Homo-oligomer: A and B are copies of this chain.
Amino acid sequence: MGKIETCLSPELIHLYNIREKNIVIVDIFRATSTIISALANGVSQIIPFSNLEDCRAMQSQGYIIAGERDGRKADGFELGNSPIAFLNGNYSGKKIAMTTTNGTLAIEKSKEGANNIIIGSFLNLEALSQYLITKEQDVLILCAGWKGKFNLEDSLFAGALANGLKNFFSTDCDTTIALENLYDCHKENLKKIISLASHTKRLQNENLEKDIDFCLIPNKYSTIGIFNQDSIKSIQG
């Protein structure tokens, strides 16, 4: 039986052994939700960048550039970080270069040594759970958090994923136990507790309530997003 662990922030990743593990990257508001929405709506690949200028430079190579800082679209970028932008199919077949405040940094920190880097979101929760169960390898959930700190929405997703995996994986990780219990207490009304999160308020102040609601839809897509050789592609859906 594989084991499951959760790391609450990229700032703590050095405390975990990531070798030979399936790392699930979680940035619910909004990077990983946006990546799954993009792939499910026909985007062919996404290259994540932690640095804004490196990302911007990809425009000259035919990439659509998506850039966000502190919840807002970065200057001069075609796209920000909204999962809704892909729903009309305008980006089907396109390649995206993407940089966000937290999510792309979390991917960057997992690059060395992980077995697979897999994108986690409520949008593909059930498909992701099935994928991990089939793989039978140890799982490490890495929450992107907010500028190094714990955040509520990534943590509740970690709890939801741990809840779905608990009959198939064992854990001796206190973080996973706590978050699975927190999710279990609030699963009937996740929006209520997530409405208390600091990033929810930040997005509401930017009139991004629609994005919040979209990111919390469970199991809309069956797409699995895998980071491999510098880009994220869909292997399903």
Contacts and interface: CB of A to CB of B under 8 A. Distances in A.
Contacts of A182: 178, 181-182, 185
Interface stretch (A42-50, A113-121, A124-132, A141-149): A141-149
A174 B197 contact: yes
Given A185-B181, A193-B181, A12 B12 contact: yes
Contact of A15 (B149, B151, B172, B193): B149
Nearest to A177: B196
Nearest to A197: B174
Contacts of A8: 8, 150
A147 B15 contact: yes
**Could you tell me the dominant secondary structure of chain A's interface residues?**
helix
A155 to B, nearest CB: 6
Interface in A163-210: 172-175, 177-178, 181-182, 185-186, 193, 196-199, 201
Contact of A150 (B146, B152, B178): B178
B198 A174 contact: yes
> How many copies are assembled?
2
Given A11-B11, A12-B11, A15-B148, A186 B177 contact: no
A9 interface: yes
A148 B12 contact: yes
A150 B201 CA distance: 26
A146 B15 CA distance: 11
A34 to B, nearest CB: 20
A9 B155 CA distance: 16
Contacts of A173: 198
Nearest to A5: B149
23 contacts: A8-B150, A9-B12, A11-B11, A11-B12, A11-B15, A12-B148, A15-B147, A15-B148, A146-B174, A150-B175, A150-B178, A152-B174, A152-B177, A155-B174, A155-B178, A172-B198, A174-B197, A174-B198, A177-B196, A181-B182, A182-B182, A182-B185, A185-B185
